[in-house]
Amino acid sequence: MQDRPRVWLLGLLLALPLAGLILLLAVPSIDVEWQHHPSHFLLVLVVALINVALALVASEAARRRADARLFLVSLALIASSGFLALHALATPEVLLDHPNSGFVIATPIGLFIAGGFAAASALDLERRGATVMRHRGLIRNSLLAVIAAWAWFLSDISTKPKPLDLPDILSRMIATEVTSPCASNAARRSSSVASYDRLPT
Protein backbone atom coordinates (compact mmCIF):
# COMPACT_ATOMS: atom_id res chain seq x y z
CA MET A 1 0.00 0.00 0.00
CA GLN A 2 2.83 2.41 0.77
CA ASP A 3 4.35 1.90 -2.68
CA ARG A 4 1.12 2.85 -4.47
CA PRO A 5 1.73 6.65 -4.34
CA ARG A 6 5.20 6.09 -5.76
CA VAL A 7 3.75 4.04 -8.63
CA TRP A 8 1.25 6.80 -9.42
CA LEU A 9 4.00 9.42 -9.30
CA LEU A 10 6.23 7.36 -11.58
CA GLY A 11 3.35 6.85 -14.01
CA LEU A 12 2.64 10.58 -14.03
CA LEU A 13 6.28 11.44 -14.74
CA LEU A 14 6.39 8.92 -17.59
CA ALA A 15 3.13 10.26 -19.05
CA LEU A 16 4.18 13.93 -19.07
CA PRO A 17 6.46 13.73 -22.15
CA LEU A 18 3.80 11.82 -24.08
CA ALA A 19 1.19 14.40 -23.09
CA GLY A 20 3.49 17.17 -24.27
CA LEU A 21 3.97 15.44 -27.64
CA ILE A 22 0.22 15.00 -28.08
CA LEU A 23 -0.34 18.68 -27.23
CA LEU A 24 2.23 19.81 -29.83
CA LEU A 25 0.65 17.60 -32.49
CA ALA A 26 -2.85 18.84 -31.63
CA VAL A 27 -1.90 22.54 -31.46
CA PRO A 28 1.09 23.13 -33.80
CA SER A 29 0.91 26.91 -33.28
CA ILE A 30 2.42 26.60 -29.79
CA ASP A 31 5.53 24.90 -31.17
CA VAL A 32 7.56 28.11 -31.44
CA GLU A 33 11.18 28.35 -32.54
CA TRP A 34 13.68 30.46 -30.61
CA GLN A 35 17.22 30.81 -31.93
CA HIS A 36 19.79 32.82 -29.99
CA HIS A 37 23.37 31.63 -30.31
CA PRO A 38 24.83 33.12 -27.08
CA SER A 39 22.01 31.59 -25.01
CA HIS A 40 22.47 28.24 -26.76
CA PHE A 41 26.18 28.40 -25.99
CA LEU A 42 25.67 29.06 -22.26
CA LEU A 43 22.78 26.64 -21.67
CA VAL A 44 24.32 23.68 -23.50
CA LEU A 45 27.76 24.24 -21.99
CA VAL A 46 26.42 24.42 -18.42
CA VAL A 47 24.35 21.24 -18.89
CA ALA A 48 27.35 19.43 -20.37
CA LEU A 49 29.65 20.44 -17.51
CA ILE A 50 27.10 19.30 -14.91
CA ASN A 51 26.94 15.90 -16.62
CA VAL A 52 30.74 15.67 -16.76
CA ALA A 53 30.83 16.25 -13.00
CA LEU A 54 28.23 13.50 -12.46
CA ALA A 55 30.26 11.17 -14.68
CA LEU A 56 33.39 11.77 -12.61
CA VAL A 57 31.46 11.05 -9.41
CA ALA A 58 30.18 7.79 -10.92
CA SER A 59 33.70 6.87 -12.06
CA GLU A 60 35.05 7.37 -8.54
CA ALA A 61 32.23 5.25 -7.10
CA ALA A 62 33.06 2.52 -9.62
CA ARG A 63 36.71 2.60 -8.54
CA ARG A 64 35.82 2.22 -4.86
CA ARG A 65 33.44 -0.65 -5.53
CA ALA A 66 35.57 -2.25 -8.28
CA ASP A 67 32.41 -2.22 -10.41
CA ALA A 68 33.26 -2.52 -14.12
CA ARG A 69 29.67 -1.95 -15.23
CA LEU A 70 29.37 1.30 -13.33
CA PHE A 71 32.73 2.38 -14.73
CA LEU A 72 31.49 1.79 -18.29
CA VAL A 73 28.32 3.75 -17.51
CA SER A 74 30.49 6.64 -16.29
CA LEU A 75 32.42 6.48 -19.59
CA ALA A 76 29.13 6.71 -21.46
CA LEU A 77 28.31 9.85 -19.48
CA ILE A 78 31.75 11.33 -20.17
CA ALA A 79 31.46 10.63 -23.91
CA SER A 80 27.98 12.10 -24.32
CA SER A 81 28.56 15.14 -22.12
CA GLY A 82 32.07 15.78 -23.47
CA PHE A 83 30.90 15.94 -27.07
CA LEU A 84 27.88 17.97 -25.97
CA ALA A 85 30.31 20.52 -24.51
CA LEU A 86 32.16 20.60 -27.85
CA HIS A 87 28.82 21.13 -29.55
CA ALA A 88 28.34 24.18 -27.33
CA LEU A 89 31.84 25.52 -27.95
CA ALA A 90 31.28 25.26 -31.71
CA THR A 91 28.13 27.40 -31.61
CA PRO A 92 28.28 29.76 -34.61
CA GLU A 93 28.82 33.49 -34.02
CA VAL A 94 30.08 33.00 -30.45
CA LEU A 95 33.59 31.55 -30.58
CA LEU A 96 33.45 30.63 -34.26
CA ASP A 97 32.51 33.08 -36.98
CA HIS A 98 30.41 30.69 -39.06
CA PRO A 99 28.62 27.31 -38.83
CA ASN A 100 30.78 24.23 -39.27
CA SER A 101 30.46 20.48 -39.57
CA GLY A 102 31.73 19.97 -36.03
CA PHE A 103 28.77 21.92 -34.70
CA VAL A 104 26.36 19.59 -36.49
CA ILE A 105 27.83 16.14 -35.80
CA ALA A 106 29.54 16.52 -32.41
CA THR A 107 26.49 15.39 -30.43
CA PRO A 108 25.65 12.34 -32.62
CA ILE A 109 29.26 11.18 -32.43
CA GLY A 110 29.21 11.51 -28.65
CA LEU A 111 25.97 9.54 -28.44
CA PHE A 112 27.36 6.85 -30.74
CA ILE A 113 30.43 6.38 -28.54
CA ALA A 114 28.32 6.54 -25.39
CA GLY A 115 26.02 3.88 -26.82
CA GLY A 116 28.99 1.55 -27.23
CA PHE A 117 29.98 1.95 -23.58
CA ALA A 118 26.36 1.56 -22.46
CA ALA A 119 26.00 -1.64 -24.48
CA ALA A 120 29.26 -2.98 -23.05
CA SER A 121 27.99 -2.30 -19.51
CA ALA A 122 25.07 -4.67 -20.17
CA LEU A 123 27.37 -7.61 -20.96
CA ASP A 124 28.38 -10.32 -18.53
CA LEU A 125 31.59 -8.88 -17.06
CA GLU A 126 32.10 -11.44 -14.32
CA ARG A 127 35.30 -12.67 -15.96
CA ARG A 128 36.50 -9.53 -17.73
CA GLY A 129 35.43 -7.01 -15.10
CA ALA A 130 38.75 -7.18 -13.30
CA THR A 131 40.61 -6.59 -16.59
CA VAL A 132 38.46 -3.56 -17.35
CA MET A 133 39.10 -2.04 -13.94
CA ARG A 134 42.81 -2.79 -14.17
CA HIS A 135 43.03 -0.80 -17.40
CA ARG A 136 40.45 1.83 -16.47
CA GLY A 137 43.02 4.64 -16.64
CA LEU A 138 44.05 3.72 -20.18
CA ILE A 139 40.43 3.40 -21.31
CA ARG A 140 39.37 6.71 -19.79
CA ASN A 141 42.44 8.55 -21.08
CA SER A 142 41.84 7.17 -24.57
CA LEU A 143 38.31 8.53 -24.50
CA LEU A 144 39.55 11.92 -23.31
CA ALA A 145 42.13 11.89 -26.11
CA VAL A 146 39.37 11.36 -28.68
CA ILE A 147 37.42 14.31 -27.24
CA ALA A 148 40.57 16.44 -27.24
CA ALA A 149 41.28 15.50 -30.86
CA TRP A 150 37.79 16.60 -31.83
CA ALA A 151 38.32 19.88 -29.96
CA TRP A 152 41.56 20.39 -31.91
CA PHE A 153 39.65 19.79 -35.13
CA LEU A 154 37.18 22.51 -34.15
CA SER A 155 39.94 24.93 -33.16
CA ASP A 156 41.48 24.52 -36.61
CA ILE A 157 38.43 26.31 -38.04
CA SER A 158 38.62 30.11 -38.21
CA THR A 159 37.36 31.79 -35.07
CA LYS A 160 35.94 35.22 -34.40
CA PRO A 161 38.60 37.87 -33.71
CA LYS A 162 36.61 39.11 -30.70
CA PRO A 163 34.30 36.24 -29.62
CA LEU A 164 32.81 38.15 -26.68
CA ASP A 165 32.21 41.36 -28.65
CA LEU A 166 28.48 40.83 -29.25
CA PRO A 167 26.21 43.46 -30.85
CA ASP A 168 23.65 45.31 -28.75
CA ILE A 169 20.84 44.40 -31.11
CA LEU A 170 20.72 41.20 -33.12
CA SER A 171 18.85 41.60 -36.39
CA ARG A 172 18.97 40.07 -39.82
CA MET A 173 18.14 41.64 -43.19
CA ILE A 174 16.37 39.35 -45.65
CA ALA A 175 16.26 40.40 -49.33
CA THR A 176 14.19 38.57 -51.93
CA GLU A 177 13.35 38.98 -55.59
CA VAL A 178 9.78 38.15 -56.61
CA THR A 179 8.40 37.59 -60.11
CA SER A 180 4.74 37.38 -60.97
CA PRO A 181 3.28 34.79 -63.40
CA CYS A 182 2.05 37.48 -65.80
CA ALA A 183 5.40 39.30 -65.90
CA SER A 184 8.09 36.68 -65.75
CA ASN A 185 10.79 39.06 -66.98
CA ALA A 186 10.08 41.70 -64.33
CA ALA A 187 11.45 41.35 -60.84
CA ARG A 188 10.51 43.20 -57.69
CA ARG A 189 12.95 43.43 -54.78
CA SER A 190 11.61 43.40 -51.25
CA SER A 191 13.35 43.33 -47.90
CA SER A 192 12.45 42.65 -44.31
CA VAL A 193 14.23 42.91 -41.00
CA ALA A 194 13.88 40.27 -38.31
CA SER A 195 14.82 41.90 -35.00
CA TYR A 196 15.74 40.12 -31.80
CA ASP A 197 15.76 41.25 -28.22
CA ARG A 198 18.45 43.65 -27.07
CA LEU A 199 21.24 41.92 -25.21
CA PRO A 200 21.93 43.06 -21.63
CA THR A 201 24.78 45.53 -21.26
CA atoms in the 13 A half-sphere facing the CB of 134: 5
Residue 28 falls within a domain, yes or no?
yes
pLDDT tens digits in sequence order for the chain, 201 residues long: 556 777 888 888 888 989 989 998 988 888 877 778 888 888 889 999 999 899 989 988 988 888 889 999 999 999 999 999 888 887 877 777 766 677 778 889 999 999 999 999 888 877 788 888 888 889 999 999 998 888 887 665 544 545 445 444 344 434 444 454 554 455 444 444 444 444 443
Q: Provide DSSP, 116-128.
A: HHHHHHTS--TTT
Q: Are residues 100 and 42 in the same domain?
A: yes
**What is the rounded distance in angstroms from the CA atom of residue 18 to the CA atom of residue 90?**
32
Q: Are residues 111 and 127 in the same domain?
A: yes
Q: Which residues lie below 8 Å from residue 2, measured CB to CB, with a gap of 6+? A: none
**What is the rounded distance in angstroms from the CA atom of residue 109 to the CA atom of residue 147?**
10
Residue 146 falls within a domain, yes or no?
yes
Helix H or strand E segment including 169: strand 169-180
Residue 160 falls within a domain, yes or no?
no
79: nearest Cα among 30, 112, 46: 112
How many domains in the chain?
Answer: 3
Q: Are residues 52 and 1 in the same domain?
A: no
Residue 88 falls within a domain, yes or no?
yes
Q: Are residues 11 and 44 in the same domain?
A: no
pTM of the entire predicted model: 0.62
**What is the rounded distance in angstroms from the CA atom of residue 141 to the CA atom of residue 165?**
35
Which residues form the domain of 120? 35-155
192: nearest Cα among 169, 170, 173: 173
